[in-house]
């Protein structure tokens, strides 16, 4: 005879929450999970994007929230605490041509809030939720709970001249690594993605509509395949494309002053 837990697990549709899932990489990952039969929820702040998703993908549940607003974010997380989930992806991000246009106070606040502070708020909440679910055996048996965050290859290099974006993503990589160790006793997976350029609308918008000149730029589809593989293989930190990974590895072996000089001359040009 089947136990109640076995019965629940058998009929359980896994649920994913994609924070920053209203466009670009987050939306592509959300749609991919939808196609795999997952129940999907996405969070973003742009009303037009949310309306588009509601029309295009009526089964995706959308939540409007400005992640730069701590109170608003907390009340959404409180609302979501009533719903169980198996995977959360933090894909929200803010990037700009930081070297060319020096960040003003408002842009700097926004970049720190989205790329680092809201990430910390969401991961803290999500880890508590998954641990509670773990204790109540609320998980689908064939689906290991996971927390995924989208950092950037820019965060894998350690150099003093790094931008606020690179430093925030570097902090995200370090935080994810700590969460991975902390959540291991609960059998909760934590994977961090550090990708190179992905041909999203946001990146094209920053480059007058065409980002094809970016080194080793990859399509959204390729990025989704790489990320899903990293999740399936339980990779701690996935750095891709491979060509970029090798370059970064080589650069990280250079003496710091030389690395700093190279990056300074390279990064101070329009991207």
| Residues near ligand NAP, by CB under 6 A | 20-26, 44-46, 49, 65-68, 91-95, 114, 150, 152, 195, 197-198, 200, 202-203
DSSP H or E run through 250: helix 242-252
Distance of closest approach, residue 199 Cβ to ligand NAP, in angstroms: 7
DSSP symbol at 270: -
Distance of closest approach, residue 93 Cβ to ligand NAP, in angstroms: 2
- Cβ atoms of residues 27 and 54 within 8 Å: no
Distance of closest approach, residue 142 Cβ to ligand NAP, in angstroms: 28
Judged by CB, which is closer to ligand NAP: 53, or 183? 53
Judged by CB, which is closer to ligand NAP: 133, or 222? 222
Cβ atoms within 10 Å, residue 157: 16
Distance of closest approach, residue 135 Cβ to ligand NAP, in angstroms: 30
Give the span between the Cα atoms of 178 and 237, in whole angstroms: 12
Distance of closest approach, residue 134 Cβ to ligand NAP, in angstroms: 27
- Cβ atoms of residues 14 and 38 within 8 Å: yes
Measured in whole angstroms, the distance separating CA 221 from the mean position of its chain's CA atoms is: 16
Judged by CB, which is closer to ligand NAP: 16, or 92? 92
Give the span between the Cα atoms of 30 and 113, in whole angstroms: 23
Judged by CB, which is closer to ligand NAP: 10, or 246? 246
Judged by CB, which is closer to ligand NAP: 77, or 139? 77
Give the span between the Cα atoms of 186 and 221, in whole angstroms: 32
């Amino acid at each position: 005879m089947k136990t109640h837990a076995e019965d629940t697990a058998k009929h359980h549709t896994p649920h994913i929450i994609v924070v920053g899932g209203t466009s670009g990489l987050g939306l592509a990952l959300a749609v991919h999970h939808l196609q795999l039969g997952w129940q999907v929820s996405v969070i973003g702040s742009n009303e037009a994007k949310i309306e588009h998703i509601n029309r295009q993908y009526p089964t995706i549940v959308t939540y409007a929230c400005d992640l730069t607003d701590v109170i608003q974010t907390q009340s959404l997380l409180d609302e979501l605490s009533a719903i169980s989930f198996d995977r959360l992806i933090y894909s929200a991000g803010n990037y700009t041509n930081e070297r060319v246009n020096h960040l003003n106070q408002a842009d700097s606040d926004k970049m720190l809030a989205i790329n680092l502070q809201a990430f910390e708020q969401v991961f803290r909440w999500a880890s508590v939720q998954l641990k509670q679910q773990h204790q109540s055996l609320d998980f689908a048996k064939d689906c290991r709970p996971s927390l995924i965050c989208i950092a950037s290859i820019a965060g894998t290099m350690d150099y003093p001249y790094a931008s606020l974006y690179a430093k925030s993503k570097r902090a995200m990589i370090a935080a994810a690594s700590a969460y991975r160790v902390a959540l291991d006793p609960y059998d909760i997976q934590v994977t961090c993605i550090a990708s190179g350029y992905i041909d999203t609308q946001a990146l094209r918008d920053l480059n007058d509509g065409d980002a094809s000149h970016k080194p080793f730029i990859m399509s959204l589809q390729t990025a989704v395949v790489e990320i899903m593989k990293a999740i399936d293989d339980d990779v701690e930190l996935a750095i891709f494309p491979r060509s970029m990974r090798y370059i970064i590895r080589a650069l990280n072996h250079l003496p710091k002053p030389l690395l700093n000089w190279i990056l300074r001359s390279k990064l101070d040009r329009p991207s």
